[in-house]
Amino acid sequence: MPTRKQLPNYTVPSLTPAQGAEVAGILQQRLNSLNDLALTLKHVHWNVVGPHFIAVHEMIDPQVDAVRLMVDALAERIATLGLAPRGTPGVIVAERTWDDYALGRASTIAHLGALDEVYQGVILSHRKAAADTEELDLVSNDLLIGHLHELELFHWFIRAHLESSGGDLSTAGATSEQSAADQAGKADS
Ligand SMILES: [Fe+2]
């Protein structure tokens, strides 16, 4: 987790400038991740084809709206901590630790399989950020946990399409978006 070298001139009461900078560094990574997620979800909204098109196309937009609100709250928390949130596309590309979304035009089930992987990665990192801020800054920790309530619900919406009546996920054991998409597609055919 990269930490910021720049110290704020002020931060929230009870944190030192160094602590404010550390929390802001953690939140900047989450800002990059959720900015990427909002863009990726819109890309999926535009590129799903085949059976269940309208259901999946319309399921995605409320997720985009919710993630954009999370992005705004993260950026404003970084500013509240005394540092400048960085929200340009160049920052996302320069600082992200994951690959660009793997699928273009593809079936609804393939995109849902890939999105299962996407949400898994985002949620794991968000949970780690929540754990890392628990001692440092309860308010940032609360913000991240609030996001997780929604992100984990959205992940379930995705997974419910990939689940058998016996409760098994078609994407189980997948290691990439493409392999999750392939497994989901096979299970559906
Ligand atoms: Fe649209």
Ligand 1 centroid to residue 72 C-alpha, Å: 21
Ligand 1 centroid to residue 177 C-alpha, Å: 23
Ligand 1 centroid to residue 156 C-alpha, Å: 22
d(CA 128, CA 111): 26
CATH architecture of the domain with residue range 17-188: Up-down Bundle (1.20)
Q: What is the pLDDT of residues 119-162, one digit of tens each?
A: 999 999 999 999 999 999 999 999 999 999 999 999 999 999 99
Amino acid code (one letter) for 3: T
pLDDT band (50, 70, 90) for residue 33: very high
d(CA 117, CA 27): 22
Ligand 1 centroid to residue 41 C-alpha, Å: 11
Ligand 1 centroid to residue 43 C-alpha, Å: 10
d(CA 13, CA 11): 6
pTM of the model: 0.94
Asked whether the beta carbons of 140 and 82 are under 8 A apart, the reply is no
Structure tokens at 38: 């909002």
pLDDT band (50, 70, 90) for residue 2: very low
Q: What is the mean pLDDT of residues 2-29?
A: 89
Domain positions in the chain are 17-188
Q: Check whether 3 has a pLDDT greater than 70.
A: no
**How large is the C-alpha radius of gyration of the chain?**
18
Long-range CB contacts (within 8 A, 24+) of 117-121 = 117/171, 117/174, 117/176, 117/177, 117/180, 118/37, 118/40, 118/177, 119/151, 119/154, 119/155, 119/158, 120/155
Q: What is the pLDDT of residues 58-73, one digit of tens each?
A: 999 999 999 999 999 9
Ligand 1 centroid to residue 55 C-alpha, Å: 12
Higher per-residue pLDDT: 2 or 81: 81
List Cα–Cα distances, 53 to 102, 116, 152, in angstroms: 19, 17, 23
